[in-house]
Amino acid sequence: MTSSPTDPRSSRELFEAHSRSFRQNRYVYPVLSRRAGGISIGVNLNLDKVCNFDCVYCQVNRTEPGQREFVEIDRLVAELDAAVALVTSGRIFEDPQFGRTPPELRRLNDIALSGDGEPTTYRNFDEVVAACAEVRRRHGLDDLKLVLITNASMFHRERVRRALATLDANGGEIWAKLDAGTEDYYRLVARSAISFQRILDNLAEAARVRPIVIQSLFMRIRGEPPSAAEQNAYCDRLGEITSAGGRIKLVQVHTIARPPAESWVTALSNAEVDALGERVRRRTGLPVAAFRS
């Protein structure tokens, strides 16, 4: 039996196809994003696959070596220019990869700095943000968002602060990861040398300057979902950010959607995702979007 474009199975296949390879591009890749509600043009600054987190649910295949190279900003800009033109003209939907995109999702939502590692660790991150902002300006897309998808580990560094200021001036939005409420659970999930408190401090500081989006992925680890106590602690951490003057415009609660790094990590059920989203909404009073697997 075949699937129609509006069939749930067909839609799920479309949303799961988040390949970072597109034609002959090295850095730029369009995807149909469920959370963006349209086409998101990704910019991958981490072809070397280096990341300061080693999340148990990561979908990047780190068994294959990355490419160690300095990002060619001129090539990145040329690829981004071409991708923006491809989407805004509608020609992208002639491509087999995007031909089944539903009409309501045939829109360019954002340019997203993301990829195979933490984008803010790239030493010329501020230059890349400025270059992306210039592409946005050149195409006359004043309403197009520049989205930074990040683990918030580098916000305290001056060059990253400069980049965030450029984002703020160009329709920028920070989507920052927070997957835990306690240090122990953070260590279990992120497996990073960076302290949990550093992440919390950076989130609070960033949120005092501009509204941010919190992205949180919850899962079963060796069959066990996060405990009620862990979920409540997570809500408390959100509450501490807002109590300190931070602004959180949205909390995105989601679960495993693609094969994770560890086989003992599995998705929450739809009911568990819904319940967790409702818990966060009830305990924090924040807007919450829950995304099922």
Tens of pLDDT, residues 94-127: 999 899 999 999 999 999 998 889 999 998 999 9
How confident is the model at residue 201, as a pLDDT? 98
How confident is the model at residue 18, as a pLDDT? 46
| Helices within the chain (DSSP H only) | 8-16, 73-89, 125-138, 158-168, 183-190, 196-209, 228-243, 270-284
* pLDDT band with cut points at 50, 70 and 90 for residue 186: very high
* Encoded tokens for 31: 């995807």
Residues 210 and 168 sit within 8 Å (Cβ to Cβ) = yes
* pLDDT band with cut points at 50, 70 and 90 for residue 8: very low
Tens of pLDDT, residues 154-168: 999 999 999 999 999
* pTM for this prediction: 0.88
How confident is the model at residue 66, as a pLDDT? 55
Specify the DSSP class assigned to residue 181.
S
How far is Cα 199 from Cα 204, in angstroms, rounded to an integer?
9
Q: Which domains does the chain have, with CATH numbers?
A: 1-177 (no CATH), 178-293 (3.20.20.70)
* Encoded tokens for 64: 């294959």
How far is Cα 53 from Cα 56, in angstroms, rounded to an integer?
9
How far is Cα 30 from Cα 25, in angstroms, rounded to an integer?
10
Average pLDDT over residues 224-252: 98
* Encoded tokens for 292: 């099922």
Torsion of CA 82, 134, 126, 45, to 10 degrees: -10
Please give the residue that has the higher pLDDT: either 92 or 36: 92
Specify the DSSP class assigned to residue 4.
-
* 38 Cβ contact list (under 8 Å, min separation 6): 32, 105, 106, 107, 108, 109
How far is Cα 62 from Cα 59, in angstroms, rounded to an integer?
9
Q: Looking at 10-14, 55-59, 119-123, 244-248, which range is the least confident one? A: 10-14
How confident is the model at residue 169, as a pLDDT? 95
